[in-house]
Structure 1
Amino acid sequence: MSTSPTIDTAAALAATSLLRFATAGSVDDGKSTLVGRLLHDSKSVLTDQLEAVETASRNRGQDAPDLALLTDGLRAEREQGITIDVAYRYFATTKRRFILADTPGHVQYTRNMVTGASTAELAVVLVDARNGVVEQTRRHAAVAALLRVPHVVMCVNKMDLVDYQEKVFASIAEEFTAYAASLGVPEITTIPISALVGDNVVTASANMDWYGGPTVLEHLETVQVSHDPSDDPARFPVQVVIRPQTDEHRDYRGYAGQIASGIFRVGDRITVQPSGRTSTIEGIDALGEPVDVAWAPQSVTLRLTDDLDISRGDMIAPADAKLSPSQDLTATVAHLHDRPLKVGDRVLLKHATRTVKAIVKDIPSRLTLADLSQHPAPGELVANDIGRVVLRTAQALPVDAYADSRRTGSFLLIDPADGTTLTAGMAGDAFAEAAEETKEARGGTADDDGWDF
């Protein structure tokens, strides 16, 4: 007898107490100090870790502990006083668990921010109150919009160095909010802070009584990141076919993997892509027990009524899904490797659980994130570039638009010679789709405003 939950319970259980977020900002804006202050004041730092930071700070001639050292763990980072690589930290409060990615601020490490923010549900962008919104601030806001991070928090840091003036904060907040909204960022929150002193990081500031909003930690603990999984398209990339060899289960055939998005139920009519063959879900096994319904990101085994030729890399989706496998793919990509990506390059394309051969047919444009201008027909993309590419794959792939699914709308380009990751891709024109959605939400029209590459 199945004890599986109903759809309403499934939606409720899909709500998570885990928040993945990334920090970004220009050099010396105080990202690592903010993270260190957040960990320290929320009492998420072990005694030996704090002692190590205090010792390192004294060795550098500092009187007070440099909390930035809690995340700047590489020797080169400590010596140069900058963040070079993405630093991941895990901590928890009584209200929520967190996975934090502290990303570099240097322009040459923009690719690291792409890596850190690719799975983030929230991005914290820091701005130095003395400098306001600068080129790198706009760059990071654009990357967050490109990756469709649903929540962006802009922290105006170092308010203590501008005498906690409300007008300074208001001016910066207005400029950033307008810019981020034009990119299609759906939710923007602005908070005035001093990471060094601790104002409005974990504890409300006594120096800014004119600010009545939440502290950084309060916002992180309360921001809504869960949603009804039935709002997402149901997608199940097959990871492995299970065929037990025992006499008792000789007729068992199951398709195991992790649900990428949406909900599957026993009795659902499905289509297997790219073959297009249809069947019905006869059963769903989760943790060895039969259930009636399963939702992302659960790992389950689906059993079908028909004996179909299904293998690793195939995609199971609802029979009425608007999913047309194709060998031609146009996408927005962020190039991550020092080796340029050029027209004519032969690569491997990894989408979900399938990896196929592909060739770069065209690179129509490269985007200048500083002012969102276009550079037509660049011929190649170098490290940290974001541009549009046209790919031809050896096999048809059922790729969603990234606007519809961050999981099944994304892919990686890999060097076939050594397996190095070259490029992160997002199917479709991510900026244009985000801008169009924002305009429509505001009751406007999605006319041409320079977003088309």
Structure 2
Amino acid sequence: MDLLRFITCGSVDDGKSTLIGRLLYDSDSVSLDVLATLEKRRATTGGDVDLALLTDGLKAEREQGITIDVAHKYFTTPRRKFIITDAPGHVQYTRNMVTGTSNADLAIVLVDARQGVIEQTRRHTLLASLLGIQHFVLAVNKMDLVGHEEVIFQKIVADYAAIAEQLKLPSVVAIPLSALNGDNVVRRSTFLPWYHGPSLLEHLESVPATIDANPNEPRFQVQYVIRPQTEELPDYRGYAGRIQSGTYRPGDRVRIWPSGLETVIEAIEVNQLEVAAASAPQGVVLRLRDDVDVSRGATIVPVSAHPAVVRELEATLCWMDERPLRAGRKLLVQHHAATVKAAVTTILQKTNIETFESQGTDEARLNDIVRVRLKTALPLVADEYRQNRVTGAFILVDEQTGATLAAGLIAATDPEYFTEEVPAEAVFSI
């Protein structure tokens, strides 16, 4: 069976945790011990089973009745495997929502039928769109609280259609439901006779699985150099990491960036066993034929591949720090295992959440979405985000505190292809 990763997003108290709980509960994906705990709690407090407790695990979340941190849940149906990400809805935790969306294939955007489309609906849809989500579900929740009225549902669908058109969302399916009562979540509801589409689970089971976005441009970044130097393996040298895109095979002639050195893959190991091929997103160890200088943060690609080796780039940022960002700010760009010093040379524009239009600005404040130009002190091996969601993403880190300042998506690069060897210090990694 294939795998679908999806995220629930929307404003606070729209019912995201309850929806996930209902999906798990009605699809018989809750373990017996957890069910026993829920039943015991219901017997003590009275009322129905609190399905939000299946995802809201932090004490502060249970006390406040809101989601604070990202939670992941796993379940399987006869047709597909799923990984669910429950993201917080409060604007204060937008950074958590960005983190949860970065690996998702589909976004369920919840809207309270009583509230309609609000600012957080727009913000989360924009972020999911920027992060490359291809499939959207507009889940109009709490239909039971508005008398299951079709006219209310259609008004929300029309409002969201305007957003979808502005952002050019590739695929949107609207489903009316009640997470609390289970209407149209796993099974179709008799309380919504005017709706003739699938239930939420039926739709999730039928959405096409996401394939490697760039299979013809393999990428592998070294996370760790393995040198046991034992009597059994005195000369062993392996390079551990995760294949970010494409497929690798023994015998492939590869180039190591940013140095530009060439060699051949001698063997590929998965769980300490040699394999004939490995593909994204497998974690592997590569062994190279030649004893070349390769350190953490280096990127190994076939000689036919064309990564950009850059010192300047344009990127879209979601600013996550209380202190505003201004041009000239020095920070660190952490691109998976590689970390380089950088400076924000220009803040080009900011996105207006209400209109999605770009406007001029000289600073970025908390949760602002801005386009900036960065200049790095040393070469960075990267791709544009629209070409590769993995290698096109990075974070900005404070040099002094190590705090995460922003999530970044590479929008444009100025390539600098090296034809000569670059000194080993060209990769500033941690």
Same-fold call, TM cutoff 0.5:
yes
Correspondent of 2:273 among 280, 289, 308: 289
Q: What is the aligned partner in structure 2 of residue 43 from structure 1?
A: 28
Contact 1:368 1:375 in 2 (8 A): yes
Q: Show the 5 A alignment for 1:246-395.
A: 246=230, 249-379=233-363, 381-395=364-378
Separation in structure 1 between the aligned mates of residue 95 and residue 196 of structure 2, nearest angstrom: 36
Contact 1:24 1:105 in 2 (8 A): yes
Separation in structure 2 between the aligned mates of residue 51 and residue 300 of structure 1, nearest angstrom: 40
Contact 1:229 1:295 in 2 (8 A): no
- Compared with structure 1, are the counterparts of its residues 300 and 48 closer, same or farther at alpha carbon in structure 2 (3 Å cutoff)? closer
1:360 partner amino acid:
V
Separation in structure 2 between the aligned mates of residue 429 and residue 181 of structure 1, nearest angstrom: 24
Separation in structure 2 between the aligned mates of residue 133 and residue 221 of structure 1, nearest angstrom: 26
SS in 2 for 1:143: helix
Separation in structure 1 between the aligned mates of residue 175 and residue 351 of structure 2, nearest angstrom: 29
Query: Does 2:75 match 1:91?
Result: yes
Query: Does 2:207 match 1:213?
Result: no
Report the more deviating stretch, 296-305 or 394-403.
296-305
Separation in structure 2 between the aligned mates of residue 193 and residue 410 of structure 1, nearest angstrom: 34
- Compared with structure 1, are the counterparts of its residues 164 and 139 closer, same or farther at alpha carbon in structure 2 (3 Å cutoff)? same
Q: What is the aligned partner in structure 1 of residue 409 from structure 2?
A: 426
Give the Å deviation of 1:146: 0.9
SS in 2 for 1:344: coil
Separation in structure 1 between the aligned mates of residue 145 and residue 326 of structure 2, nearest angstrom: 46
1:138 partner amino acid:
R
Contact 2:215 2:245 in 1 (8 A): no
Separation in structure 2 between the aligned mates of residue 276 and residue 169 of structure 1, nearest angstrom: 57
Q: What is the aligned partner in structure 1 of residue 122 from structure 2?
A: 138
Q: Show the 5 A alignment for 1:401-412.
A: 401-412=384-395
Separation in structure 1 between the aligned mates of residue 214 and residue 326 of structure 2, nearest angstrom: 40
RMSD: 2.6
Contact 2:320 2:404 in 1 (8 A): yes
Separation in structure 1 between the aligned mates of residue 236 and residue 15 of structure 2, nearest angstrom: 57
Separation in structure 2 between the aligned mates of residue 230 and residue 281 of structure 1, nearest angstrom: 21
Aligned-pair identity in percent equals: 51
SS in 2 for 1:325: strand
Report the more deviating stretch, 256-265 or 19-28.
19-28
- Compared with structure 1, are the counterparts of its residues 208 and 116 closer, same or farther at alpha carbon in structure 2 (3 Å cutoff)? same
1:401 partner amino acid:
E
Separation in structure 2 between the aligned mates of residue 248 and residue 128 of structure 1, nearest angstrom: 63
Q: What is the aligned partner in structure 2 of residue 446 from structure 1?
A: none
Query: Does 2:24 match 1:24?
Result: no
Query: Residues 45-83 of structure 1, C-alpha deviation per residue, up to 9 Å, x if partnerless?
Result: 3455445556666877x6333323333333443343333
Correspondent of 2:187 among 203, 213, 236: 203
Query: Residues 400-424 of structure 1, C-alpha deviation per residue, up to 9 Å, x if partnerless?
Result: 1011111111111112222221211
Query: Does 2:100 match 1:103?
Result: no
Query: Residues 213-245 of structure 1, C-alpha deviation per residue, up to 9 Å, x if partnerless?
Result: 221122223322242577352000012233453
Q: What is the aligned partner in structure 2 of residue 231 from structure 1?
A: 215
Contact 2:213 2:387 in 1 (8 A): no
Q: What TM-score do the two structures reach when normalised by structure 1?
A: 0.83
Q: What is the aligned partner in structure 2 of residue 400 from structure 1?
A: 383
Q: What is the aligned partner in structure 1 of residue 61 from structure 2?
A: 77
2:370 partner amino acid:
G
Q: What is the aligned partner in structure 1 of residue 166 from structure 2?
A: 182
- Compared with structure 1, are the counterparts of its residues 117 and 292 closer, same or farther at alpha carbon in structure 2 (3 Å cutoff)? same
SS in 2 for 1:260: strand
Give the Å deviation of 1:385: 1.6
SS in 2 for 1:196: coil
Query: Residues 188-230 of structure 1, C-alpha deviation per residue, up to 9 Å, x if partnerless?
Result: 2221111122111011111223323221122223322242577
Separation in structure 1 between the aligned mates of residue 231 and residue 13 of structure 2, nearest angstrom: 66
Query: Residues 113-152 of structure 1, C-alpha deviation per residue, up to 9 Å, x if partnerless?
Result: 1122111111110112233322221211111101111221
Q: What TM-score do the two structures reach when normalised by structure 2?
A: 0.87
Separation in structure 2 between the aligned mates of residue 131 and residue 221 of structure 1, nearest angstrom: 29
| Unaligned ranges ≥5, structure 2 | 414-430
Correspondent of 1:241 among 219, 225, 230: 225
2:380 partner amino acid:
L
- Compared with structure 1, are the counterparts of its residues 192 and 350 closer, same or farther at alpha carbon in structure 2 (3 Å cutoff)? same
1:197 partner amino acid:
N
1:396 partner amino acid:
P
Give the Å deviation of 1:295: 0.6
Contact 1:229 1:263 in 2 (8 A): no
1:218 partner amino acid:
E
Contact 2:212 2:280 in 1 (8 A): no
